[in-house]
Every structure is written in structure tokens, then in C-alpha cells.
Structure 1
Amino acid sequence: MGPKTPVTEGDFFRQPLREQINLKHPLVGLADLINWERLGASMSESFVSGKGRPASAPRLIAGLLYLQHAFDLSDEEVVWQWVENPYWVRRETGKV
């Protein structure tokens, strides 16, 4: 009997998003239906920053705007929801 194969464990504080969220949630299903590459390509010209911080990703903006509309949130409320629950939008931004 040889040595056991070491088991690589992920970083506890950096778990993949798919391990943290309910994959049956309707927003996850909706995000899977959206062609994010096409959306990003068509919107990227509008999200160019020549000064200061880099422009926000079109996918993030589209995700926030959708959630704002779907849940009838003000600008402040949608930002608060994102700050409190960043996984809420990460699926929209592709950081899964």
C-alpha cells in the first residue's frame, strides 16, 4: 500500500460562486439564457473611459439595470443590494 494521494482543498474564503448559490434560482436560469458575449460586444463602445478609473463592465451594468427594473428598485436600493449581497450580481458579471 502506497502513500495516499494528497487531496487539494480550495481556499475556504474563495469558494467558487456555483458552490455558494442556489443553481435552481430563476436569476441563475435567466443568466444562462443571456448571450453575455454579444451583449458586451454591442455595449462596450458605450463603456469607454478615457480618464480616471476604468469603465465598469457592460455585463455588470446590464445586470444591475435588469435587477433594478425587475425588483422596482431605486439607484440607491440596487447599489445597497449589491453591496449587501455581491453574489446577487456576480452571476451577471461572469465571476462564477
Structure 2
Amino acid sequence: ETTRVLISGQRRGITPALAKLLKRRSAIEPEIGHMKSDGRLTRCPLKGRIGDAIFAVLCACGHNIRKILAHLRAFWAFVIRFILGIIVVVNRPLQMQGAA
């Protein structure tokens, strides 16, 4: 079995299927870099190839959950600002009448 090293800037000998795989790899590599820099994807404590695969999948699941929580945090902040804005607008005429 021979191993080919694929370089993303290389154009010669690239089939459409291979180009699609390289494009997918380019999309995944930044996510792996974020997992490594966040300190979650460290040295694998599990044994063997299966342990490596399980560890990678668990790290990816944790990363996805953190991304979902960040989106939910932003969404709820928007909802709370919206509701508080409505409360302020509704209470404003009442304050004006009390002052007059």
C-alpha cells in the first residue's frame, strides 16, 4: 500500500472527488486548531486506535455543544433586551402621566 501526500495548492492529478475531499479538509482543519488551542484536544488518555477515535469524537461533541451554548447565550441576550425594551416603552407613558 502506498501513501500519497496531498497538498491543497496542487492542481495536477486531482480528480473532482479528491478536490471535494481537500475542500472539506480545509473546512475541518480550523475547527481542529480551535479544539487544540482551547485545551480540549490534548494527549489521548485512551488506549489504541479505537480509544483515539472515541477521544476525537468526544472532543468534537464537546466543541459542538460549546458552540451551541454560545449561540443560545446570544439568542437569550437578544430576547431579554427585546422584552426589556418593550417594558420600558410600555411604562414610559405611565411615568409621564404621574409627573403631570
- TM-score if structure 2 supplies the norm length? 0.30
- TM-score if structure 1 supplies the norm length? 0.31
Structure of greater relative contact order (alpha carbons < 8 Å, 6+ residues apart): 1
Q: Compare the two structures and name the one with the higher helix fraction.
A: 2
